[in-house]
């Protein structure tokens, strides 16, 4: 009996995992997107009757069977719920300046894997990228959540000026400020938390003063080394 259960679990976890915006419930027919059709048919070489897993951030994860799979369409029918939706006990907000494409993808991927619930792109004086392809970033968020087995998707907030983002936050922001005497990062309890990193060129003197003078900002140190933006965010998140 135990061997059968282990084999069943292994079979489920090997099934492709995809995100859908549609509601999930028992015996539900789910239409997949054209991108998912291409992925299942041309990349994974799946066929009708093969199993996949679907999640939507609301209804847990469901094992499904492909009932239709052709060049233009794919439909999956829910069979059973494999995981119940979990309640997020802690909001984790990440504020970051956009960086170049490949490194931005890496930053988003690791933020999703490390449990960030809210992604806040910000603009500082030394920010290199001032326009974002939000559709592309959202797709990358979905892909990262599919791969790391998350049941929810982080929310991608509109890009805004760093000062405005700080003023708008209703929870304290732990800002990694280099070349300044700040305490090491020790988040402590399980309350909602926000972390903020700077751009490649660092914060200006004016920005540093603004943050250190702001009652909602806690300046923190990540050590003596100057870290890349994505490394700084990973280090902050790994300490939470």
Write out 141-201 in H/E/C secondary structure: HHHHHHHHCCCCCCEECCCEEHHHHHHHCCCCEEEECCCCCCEECCCCCCCCEEEECCCCC
Burial of 154 (0-12, 13-18, 19+ CB in 10 A): buried
For 2-83, which CATH class?
mainly beta
> What's the pTM value of the predicted model, to 2 decimals?
0.89
CA distance 130 to 114: 25
The domain segmentation of the chain, as residue ranges, is 2-83, 92-238
Q: Tokens for 69?
A: 């799979």
Domains 2-83 and 92-238 are alike in CATH topology: no
pLDDT in tens, 86-97: 988 899 999 999
Where does 92-238 sit in CATH, by number?
Answer: 3.40.1280.10
Q: Give the model's pLDDT for residue 227.
A: 85
The confidence score (pLDDT) of residue 75 equals 97
* Diameter of the chain measured on Cα atoms: 66
| Region of residue 56 (left: phi > 0; alpha: psi -120 to 50; beta: else) | alpha
- Which value, to the nearest 10 degrees, does the dihedral of the CA atoms of residues 209, 180, 157, 112 take? -170
Measured in degrees and rounded to the nearest 5, phi and psi for residue 223 equal 110, -175
For tokens 């894997």, the residue is 113
In the chain (240 residues long), the average pLDDT of successive 10-residue segments reads: 44 87 96 97 96 97 97 96 92 95 93 97 92 93 97 97 94 84 65 91 91 90 84 90
């Amino acid at each position: 009996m135990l061997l059968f259960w282990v084999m069943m679990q292994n079979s489920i976890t090997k099934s492709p995992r995809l995100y859908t915006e549609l509601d999930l419930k028992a015996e539900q027919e789910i239409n997949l997107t054209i991108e998912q059709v291409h992925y299942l048919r041309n990349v994974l070489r799946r066929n009708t009757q093969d199993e996949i897993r679907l999640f939507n951030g609301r209804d847990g994860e469901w094992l499904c069977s492909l009932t239709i799979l052709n060049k233009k369409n794919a439909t999956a029918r829910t069979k059973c719920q494999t995981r119940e939706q979990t309640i997020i006990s802690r909001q984790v907000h990440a504020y970051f300046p956009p960086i170049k494409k490949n490194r931005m993808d890496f930053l988003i991927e690791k933020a999703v894997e490390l449990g960030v619930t809210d992604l806040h792109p910000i603009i500082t004086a030394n920010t290199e990228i001032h326009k974002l392809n939000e559709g592309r970033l959202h797709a990358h968020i979905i892909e990262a959540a599919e791969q790391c087995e998350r049941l929810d998707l982080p929310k991608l907030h509109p890009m805004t000026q760093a000062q405005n983002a700080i003023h708008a936050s209703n929870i304290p922001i732990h800002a990694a400020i280099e070349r300044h005497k700040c305490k090491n990062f020790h988040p402590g309890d399980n309350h909602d938390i926000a972390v903020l990193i700077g751009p490649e060129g660092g914060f200006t003197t004016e920005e540093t003063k603004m943050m250190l003078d702001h009652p909602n900002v806690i300046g923190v140190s990540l050590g003596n080394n100057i870290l890349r933006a994505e490394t700084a965010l990973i280090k902050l998140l790994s300490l939470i």
